[in-house]
Homo-oligomer: A and B are copies of this chain.
């Protein structure tokens, strides 16, 4: 390091083989203790920790004298000699634990006030305090590891894409506002008063235009922005690895993405076999109740409609005999032993998932059955159910009887809830594709159609004729990359034909005039020889969060914002001067 740094070594790299060497180290005082007339200092840098020893006899009096004064979090530079630690004081838990540096000289580079929290892993300091003093929080080894993993993963993705002749192209951050989708952040223009840029929600349209522009293989690690109400784990700005290819089929894009992700994950020590498993959308919904299933545990959804076709329990019989409805259940093993009061609380959970109530049967360990509904079941129904759901004592079977997708979503949500509640182990990582999403979904209340992925997705060719007559039956060339039960990425082929794009926009409620007003530049571009294209976007923050095992994406971002959108360290957002507002011809209401 010496050519580029005051230090000759990092605080993480000295080993027994370095004994006898003269070294210079730079870093922060982590811990200091006086013992037997000596002073010991743990010197910390981003690479590790090395024990420094100050010996008034061997170090020279000046260094020892300085060491008496130094305090935690002071940055210092020391020169000294590497020596073996006395055998009984070696620390096998520390990579540098066999050696110490006998300090000859120490330079205090700065002093430090006492930090408001410990610079240690696993602290339980309020997150607001950590964010207010983020520059201290980042010194904690686990935060350093998080930043490093994010860097390593991102660099590996870039290397893989570069190796496949993708060009990284920067698209503008000052873009055009499109009222579709989530809410835009808007940026007033000074030169054009009353007009606004918008920060992009994604580079979707611009990457399609790059394909029209002949770039053929594009990628970008792109900052995206959404002015949404921030749920626990959303950020107003987030990062996606965005890519697009021309002259491709769906299988070709998916193979490329697998290849790139395999290399990137491997670079951070996570390996998987390709091709990844592909689960069609409806299979994922019907089996896991989710289009982003975690398949590391069972508790599959079961269709028991056939069992209850003639049931005296009208709720089940009704659904079992209605076109488009289902009676489905899951079996949460172990929860059948829960006390009644705990089971009763599950109804509340089901209601947050859209259920009207929750039917359940607890099979007690003593062989008894506890349930508000079994009194309506015939013996045959009960036997068939037990066989289908593989019932044992201690099981809790929960039901949903309603429209297919609704039943799937309710039980899918209950499945996740029960996995957490029961503490089901989910070991390793779970990677898969969910494919073949429907093109459209319909809002029950308004009857309006929206795009399941987005309005630029290519419908399956033979279904195009159904866009007018049976839109919900129209499939699309789409694929979501699912990691550990999270939608970690998604993509699809795109429409490259102006007429078809207009047709889809019209199905989504646009008049041609409105479509041209909003997406005129895209429609025009498609008329100038747009090639077949498809692409993908990976949610980088989320993937890094899963890789480091953090609970929040905030832990893999250097300077995240709170749920009210505040940067507590910088104090943003903040008031601006009246001159700044006047510059952009605005007044606060």
Contact = CB atoms under 8 A, between A and B. Distances in A.
Contacts of A191: 229-230, 564-565
Residue of A110, A170, A525 contacting most chain B CB atoms (<10 Å)? A170
A169 B223 CA distance: 13
B176 A570 contact: yes
A193 B46 contact: no
A4 B252 contact: yes
Nearest to A224: B173
Nearest to A249: B6
Interface string A169-184: 1111111110100011
Nearest to A583: B183
Contacts of A387: none
Contacts of A525: 135
Given A209-B134, A214-B139, A223-B170, A7 B75 contact: no
A110 B197 contact: no
A170 B46 contact: no
A371 interface: no
B252 A3 contact: yes
Interface stretch (A52-60, A343-351, A555-563): A555-563
Interface in A476-500: 496-497
Given A4-B252, A174-B237, A529-B75, A167 B148 contact: yes
A421 to B, nearest CB: 33
A135 B194 contact: no
B77 A176 contact: no
A73 B190 CA distance: 39
Interface in A207-238: 209-210, 212-216, 223, 225, 227, 229-230, 236-237
B174 A147 contact: no
Interface string A509-540: 00000000000110001011111100000000
Tier of interface size on chain A: 35 or more
A325 to B, nearest CB: 38
Interface in A35-84: 44-46, 73-75, 77
Interface stretch (A111-119, A287-295, A378-386, A444-452): A111-119
Contacts of A110: 496-497, 529-532
A311 interface: no
A171 B572 CA distance: 14
A465 interface: no
A70 to B, nearest CB: 11
Interface stretch (A87-95, A334-342, A389-397, A574-582): A574-582
A174 B572 contact: yes
A125 interface: no
A26 interface: yes
A167 B556 CA distance: 13
A216 B46 contact: yes
Interface stretch (A96-104, A154-162, A404-412, A434-442): A154-162
B245 A184 contact: no
A234 to B, nearest CB: 12
Contact of A558 (B138, B184, B210): B210
A271 interface: no
Given A175-B572, A248-B4, A528 B113 contact: yes
Interface in A253-298: 253, 255-256, 259
A324 to B, nearest CB: 36
A586 interface: yes
A307 interface: no
Given A172-B237, A173-B225, A237-B172, A245 B189 contact: no
Nearest to A73: B529
A199 interface: yes
23 contacts: A4-B255, A5-B247, A26-B247, A73-B529, A110-B532, A135-B210, A135-B528, A138-B213, A151-B168, A155-B158, A158-B158, A174-B567, A175-B567, A175-B572, A177-B576, A187-B573, A192-B573, A196-B580, A198-B572, A206-B559, A521-B571, A582-B589, A587-B588
